[in-house]
Amino acid sequence: MEEHIQFSEQNLVHEEEIGHGAFGTTFIAENISNNMKVAVKRMSNQRKEIQKYAMITENRINTLSNNKNIAPLFGYYQADEFFHIVMPYYVNGSLANFLDKVGSIDRIESARISSEILNALVFLHMKKVVHRNLKPGNILIGENGEMRLTDIAMEEFQKRVEGKFDTLNYMAPELIKARKLTYAVDIWSFGCIVYELLSGDLAFDHEDDGSLKKMICAGAYKMHGKVPTSAATIIVECVQKQASKRPSSQDLFFHKWISESAEESEKN
């Protein structure tokens, strides 16, 4: 792994833009010292916040890079009015890219993907970190097809960017209502992702943001016909309006649908 002190504007050549969202713009870059391709997330540098950004990022490097289903951070640097975070570049892109190409995914593979997302969530929640922006676009696909969660903000940083949202479709009601955040916001998002994996469609979708927010807050979705009964239970448990009724990531990791699908996969 690259040491974060090796990165600067001088030894990274920015290439094409590969992502843009509420928290910044992501580029492919090449480290000219070793020709290594990396991804660089560029965020506006609010000068009063730069030390906090650096401290939070340093903390993430030290505590959240030891899980196989979390994308590590290589380092960070400041240049002009921007704060940059350096990450691995995954040539396979994101789960969102993959879903755009294939639509729905079969039950066994969906369960594998779900279990890897849960593995990361269990780890994060044990570290007292809420992802808060869990969605297919923030799940990268590693070299061996493993899921890698990215865009994980530490809780201190999340409090400072309250109200900035990328995608409504996966957002829990309490986020929309600006209520206290708990790990349950990630569970809601996870349920929405499972729905999309199996059906190829969004659980909550509307062209008007106001109407979409109302749908989410009402928990108004219909179970898709492609979703098998065994998997429908996990979605129903996760996508509950009342956050306290949602299961924990640890409980979900041992859910019957996950374990039975894994056993079936091993037999085949």
Annotated binding residues, written as ranges, equal 41
Residues annotated as binding site for ATP? 41
Beta bridge partner(s), residue 77:
84
- For residues 4-31, one letter each, b for 16 or more C-beta atoms within 10 angstroms of the residue's C-beta and e for the rest, the string is beebeeeebeeeeeebebebbebbbbbb
DSSP per-residue codes, 84-153:
EEEEE--TT-BHHHHHHHH-S--HHHHHHHHHHHHHHHHHHHHTT------SGGGEEE-TTS-EEE----
Q: What is the 8-class DSSP label of residue 70?
A: B
CA 45 from centroid of its chain's CA atoms:
23
Sole residue written with tokens 């401290």: 55
Rounded Cα–Cα distance for residues 69 and 139 (Å): 9
